[in-house]
Structure 1
């Protein structure tokens, strides 16, 4: 088995990429395979390095990519998480010289594929794909967008879904009243305000729902805006008369606590404002857990939920959001039918299956690598 060097944000940083990279690394190396993390940090991050971190690339270091590339070259394959905002330079352009300095095959995982990129973002992503050994998108939608809107070789692009934790065995904490749930880091664009307005439209139900909003405010939002978004949600809930029904859990739950919370939900609500989001780890976790989902029509939701385990509604439309939630809570058999549609697919979304596909891709890249040429003295 090849050894793996991972480049990404990583715990104790709390963000989607860090969580994803941590889970992927853990499952790819569960059999004892050698690996190490090259962790990307900025000034706002907790700088403590975990035991698997072999090098830290601080974004304040203008030439930090050189040492990061050298650290990755100590492994057989480099697995690189890509998002425009995490690497130094304009739109994270410093990832490009790093890729070009690698002497080992690389797998670049694209967490965002913009539909309308700037000219530089388009050029940068095309150059990243050209420099990578292979590229992974997590949805067919993202792959199609990449092939249509960017000039990239189709043979380099593989679709591997975002992994989901196994929470079926987590204790169920069933509640007396219907329970709605949204979780993840908070900030503008999360759309919680639309869920609050939808909740206000559901107060006529015989058993009125409760709504849990679980997650801390995103560190970058706190850095620039403080807790203004969360405070605004509290004010809106009070104005709508639903504050008593909303539980804000300002915490970063571990997997066991999150599993209990997900299994307690009757509906997971994803009211995101984004029309670009081609990957949502929260969506995958909810679907894999078999909980019905109501989501706005961001691309990943449209792909995964159409005809599947949830309902898709227009953006910023609390009436439509409330109507969909009402259907799941009141229409006989609907929740069970929605949950049942995912069971044949759930195994493929679990992290062990996802990691196996990454392992297969890595082995293909290493097998195709030309053998090293050793110097022969005269």
Structure 2
């Protein structure tokens, strides 16, 4: 390993992404991944960041070297030009989601890639089948200008090859990382939260409504509608909905979705059986909730969702899972780890699956154990090692 007396000369990987304190799933992913990479024993690289801004006023840490307004094309061009002149930058890791880079399809990112002279490795967090011609053109252009693309599921590889014409030789699968948390003591964790005598169901993530066939909506309303049947069988059941409303949803419509969920709870007389944790909880708090959970409920409305960080984190904490059949869930959930539903938006399917698991404690215990063991191969340190192999393959000579 090289020793760098002057930190300015240390080789860098720049991450182009949203970044904390901006509250966004990809910002959390980038922070977790970069922290794991910097913690690798034999890595000489240091992570720095190019933060994509959504007109918010964020107080970024010193490791954020550049800021780009998502809608300002010249910001992308000027930043890439500056990076080209930085001799210690080995590559840029781009975290891609369609709406992160301004406009509907995020085409502003192409201005950055067209200017950049360093190798770029692009992680696609969303991959949609049967794309419009415009979306296909943009995704293909991003892939062509990237040294390598990374996706988090085998289904995403299939879609990129079949629907976008991207060669498989350019695609690497690296699963979503999870924290290497020790298995929890379910009764103990419940006691910490004050739910010692309750059967806990939980979902977490940004609240957002579902609209359209490819909506990223949470679908919590269908779980709430399943609760009356669950409560008849398990009167001490409590469903926790953990998380704040997505910032972009708040800008667009305020708390309309949350209010509609709360109204549904009141209409069904479920005030003692559904609780909203309206907070952006810390990781430690999240792990406590997940370890206390008897069944994690993943009610995503988007059949084409190829990556779910919430599903990965829940299974990583050893949760038995009931989930709608979106792409990532189809790969992760087997009958010994949870129940994959046959359809979306069906309260009856949720209640039947949840009651089945709650009625069989030995089944639930086995599912929790198997989910936890399955995710041990996807801890952040393992994910970081896989990213480093890709980075080293394409890194600019230093």
Alignment-derived partner of residue 204 in structure 2: 183
Alignment-derived partner of residue 173 in structure 1: 189
Alignment-derived partner of residue 39 in structure 1: 51
C-alpha displacement of 1:165: 1.5
Alignment of 1:120-159 (within 5 A): 120-159=134-173
Q: Distance in 1 between matches of 2:256 and 2:385?
A: 42
What do the CA deviations read for 1:17-49 (whole angstroms, capped 9, x no partner)? Answer: 111111111111125732210000012x34222
C-alpha displacement of 1:344: 4.1
Q: Distance in 2 between matches of 1:343 and 1:246?
A: 26
Alignment-derived partner of residue 48 in structure 1: 59
Q: Distance in 1 between matches of 2:339 and 2:228?
A: 20
C-alpha displacement of 1:169: 6.2
> Which residue of the other structure, out of 8, 12, 21, is the alignment partner of 2:17?
8
What do the CA deviations read for 1:192-245 (whole angstroms, capped 9, x no partner)? Answer: 101101111112124431011110000000001000100000100111111221
Contact 2:183 2:291 (C-alpha < 8 Å) held by counterparts: no
Alignment-derived partner of residue 228 in structure 1: 256
Q: Does 1:326 align with 2:355?
A: yes
Q: Distance in 2 between matches of 1:153 and 1:224?
A: 38
Alignment-derived partner of residue 19 in structure 1: 28
> Which residue of the other structure, out of 96, 100, 122, is the alignment partner of 1:82?
96
Q: Distance in 1 between matches of 2:334 and 2:113?
A: 37
Q: Distance in 1 between matches of 2:63 and 2:16?
A: 12
> Which residue of the other structure, out of 326, 333, 336, is the alignment partner of 1:305?
333
C-alpha displacement of 1:77: 1.3
More moved, 82-91 vs 212-221: 82-91
Q: Distance in 2 between matches of 1:261 and 1:290?
A: 12
Alignment of 1:282-301 (within 5 A): 282-301=310-329
Q: Does 1:161 align with 2:175?
A: yes
Structure 2: gaps of 5 or more residues: 2-10, 191-195, 210-216
Structure 1: gaps of 5 or more residues: 373-378
Contact 2:337 2:370 (C-alpha < 8 Å) held by counterparts: yes
Alignment-derived partner of residue 376 in structure 1: none
C-alpha displacement of 1:100: 2.4
Q: Distance in 1 between matches of 2:234 and 2:368?
A: 23
Alignment-derived partner of residue 254 in structure 1: 282
User: Tell me, what secondary structure is at the counterpart of 2:272?
Assistant: helix
Alignment-derived partner of residue 347 in structure 1: 376
Q: Distance in 1 between matches of 2:294 and 2:384?
A: 29
C-alpha displacement of 1:166: 2.4
Structure 1 pair 28/70, CA: closer, same or farther in 2 (3 Å)? farther
Contact 1:72 1:78 (C-alpha < 8 Å) held by counterparts: no
Q: Distance in 2 between matches of 1:57 and 1:358?
A: 24
C-alpha displacement of 1:89: 4.4
TM-score, length-normalised on structure 2?
A: 0.88
Equivalent pairs, count: 368
More moved, 205-214 vs 173-182: 205-214
